[in-house]
Every structure is written in structure tokens, then in C-alpha cells.
A and B are shown apart, each in its own frame.
Chain A
Amino acid sequence: MIDNKNPLSPHIQIYRWHISSLVSITHRITGIINIVAITIICFWITFLLLGESNYEVIKIFLQSIFGKFIILSLSWSFGFQILSEIRHLIMDLGYGFEPRMTNLTGLLVIFGSFILTILIYLI
């Protein structure tokens, strides 16, 4: 089979860091974290089939500080993904490409994800 001669994306080290690149790389990382978390949740649901007595171990883990910390981190990760996805969709419509606007929306995604995490816990 002939290899594709199209150029690959250059590695991220060659770019100068700015808010958009930080949001972009965090978007990819949170995307991977979220799908891994969803897969673990699928296994968690599978565990429910084993009955109440076998579920105790998972319940103790989820009620521990570490379990609560994981759920809190996951709330931030999902919050970031939601806001970043909205930013992407707005950009797909052709808005927000000016450097000042990309910086502003990038900052909104970063700080907004923390505010959204707090809201998720308060509501």
C-alpha cells in the first residue's frame, strides 16, 4: 500500500503559546478524559447487574474524598468541553476570528468552566 505523502501536523512545541492554543489542546485532552470517564461509567453500570451486595465497594469509593474529587474534576472537564464546543460552533458560523475576540472567547471558556463547575455543584 502506498503511504500518503500529505504533510502531517507539526508537533505542538513549534508553536508560540497563546490562549487559543491552550484552549485547543485542553479541548483535546478533556475530550479524551471524558470518553475514558464515559467508558468507566459504562463499566459502573455493568457492575449494577451484580446486585446490591457487590455494589458496596463502589459506593464506598464514590463516597470517599477521592471519589468526590474525581466527580468534581469530571464536572470541570465536561464544563470545559461544553463551553469549548459552543465556541467552536460559533466560530464555524464565521464569528469570532479576530485576535482580540479569540483571546476573549478563549478566556471565557477557561474561566467559565470553573464557574460552571461551581454552578453544577450548587444547583
Chain B
Amino acid sequence: MNSSTKKWLFLKVSSFLLIPLMIWFIFNLVSVFDKDYVEIVSFFSKQPSKFLFSLFLIFSYFFSALSISEVFEDYIQNKKIKNAANKVLNIFAIMMPLLTIIIIFNLKT
């Protein structure tokens, strides 16, 4: 299997998994966003929301990195610039969810 096929498959699998996670996330965001500090901390630090939100972050950044790299593929011709842009994108897509998940697991009610 060549790398483009692999990338397409990863994109489709992550997209499929992201749909229920997005539905769960947006329904919960609307119900907690304007609540008190204690309620919001409790939402993010208790199960199953802690686990589901972590999964949501991982798949969202993974899917976005793959999608944005497709946009780079479409519009950036210079290989050096494209590689640099992809590297920055991948570092960002790993660091953001990782740091946030660490924070969530350290939140105390």
C-alpha cells in the first residue's frame, strides 16, 4: 500500500470515528460552557467525559493535520516549504492534545 492510500485510509477512519465524538462534544459544550468553575472542572475531570474528550482531541488533531496537509499538497509547490509546513503542523497536532490531556488528568474537583 503506498503512502497516499494509507493517508486516505487514515483520513477516512478518523473521520468516521470523529462523527460520534463531535456529536457528543457539541451537545456537552452547549450544556456546560456558561456554568460555574466547579461544574466545568467536574465535567472535564470525571469519567466518561475525561476519556471521551481526550479521544475527541486526539482524533480531531489527527484528522485536521491530515486534512491540512492535503491543502498544502494542493497549493504549495516548493517541496522545502511544504515539508517545513508539514513538520510544524505535525508537531502542533501532537503537542496540543498531549498537553491538554495531561492538564485534564491533573484537574482536581
Q: Which residues of B contact A92 (CB under 8 A)?
A: 12
Number of B residues contacting the other chain (C-beta, 8 Å)?
Answer: 42
Interface assignment of A74: CB less than 8 Å from any CB of chain B: yes
- Cβ–Cβ < 8 Å partners of A14 in chain B: none
Which residues from A are CB-within-8-Å of B77? 3-4, 8
Residues in chain B within 8 A of chain A (CB atoms) = 12, 15-16, 18-19, 22-23, 25-27, 29-30, 33-34, 36-38, 40-41, 44, 57, 60-61, 64, 67-68, 71, 74-80, 96-97, 99-100, 103-104, 106-107
Choose from B19, B99, B106 the contact partner of A85 (Cβ within 8 Å): B19
- Report A-chain residues with C-beta under 8 Å of the C-beta of B79: 1-4
> Can you list 16 A-B contacts with CB-CB less than 8 angstroms, sorted by A residue number?
A3-B78, A4-B79, A8-B74, A34-B64, A39-B96, A41-B29, A42-B99, A48-B40, A48-B103, A55-B40, A62-B33, A67-B34, A79-B26, A82-B26, A88-B15, A120-B30
- A residues apposed to B, CB below 8 Å: 1-4, 8-9, 28, 31, 34-35, 38-39, 41-42, 45-46, 48-49, 52, 55, 59, 62-63, 67-68, 71, 74-75, 78-79, 81-82, 85-86, 88-89, 92, 120-121, 123
Question: Cβ of B34 and Cβ of A89 under 8 Å apart?
Answer: no
B7 to nearest A CB, angstroms? 14
A2 surroundings in chain B (CB, below 8 A):
79
Contacts of B67 in A (CB 8 A): 31
